[in-house]
Amino acid sequence: MLLYVVFRKKWADFTREVDPDIITGYNIQNFDFSYLLARAKHLNINTFAYLGRLKDVKTTARTTVLQSKQLGRRENKQINLEGRILFDLLLVLLREYKLRSYTLNAVSFHFLQQQKEDVQHSIISDLQNGTHKHDIVSLFTVSKTLSYHYVYSINSCR
């Protein structure tokens, strides 16, 4: 449990130190940030939730409902990161592309003709502790990054 607390504190400190303008990822708006905020609250890491540039404004996740003919009814999380842009590639893909599936594997295969490397749940602790080969994580990270870059490049050429 202590490892999770330290990791989340360090990640929040790193975000504040690097001070990024844009934070990007795949499904980070509707999953990752909500999960991180909920876990930090559960673990009583009170300083974690201040991830925006306004140091006294707490980062929160609130649920909103979006309904349109194109997307149908969709429940989304709104994350306030004051002074930063949260760019979720999944939301762009849902809006701009008609795909059979929007899993990261399906999207990666659609644009790159290769799938991400899955990390088995049973080795995650070893990876976190540094007792397993890091090739898997590197491959996963590189393919995920290439997927984002490729799709972004396609969109900016339209």
Per-residue pLDDT of the chain (158 residues; tens, 9 = 90+): 566 677 778 888 888 999 999 999 889 999 888 988 988 898 888 889 999 999 899 999 999 887 877 767 878 899 999 999 999 999 899 889 999 999 988 998 898 888 776 666 676 667 666 665 554 444 444 444 444 444 443 444 44
Is residue 117 a contact partner of residue 140, using CB atoms and an 8 Å limit? yes
Same domain as 115, residue 155:
yes
Is residue 59 a contact partner of residue 49, using CB atoms and an 8 Å limit? yes
User: 2 is written with which tokens?
Assistant: 């202590």
Which among 63, 96, 129 is the end of a domain? 96
Same domain as 76, residue 133:
no
Domain containing residue 83: CATH number: 3.30.420.10
Which among 55, 75, 96 is the end of a domain? 96
What is the b/e burial string over 96-125, where b = at least 16 CB atoms within 10 angstroms of the residue's CB?
Answer: eeeeeeeebeebbebbeeeebbeeeeeeee
- Look at the chain and report how many structural domains it folds into: 2
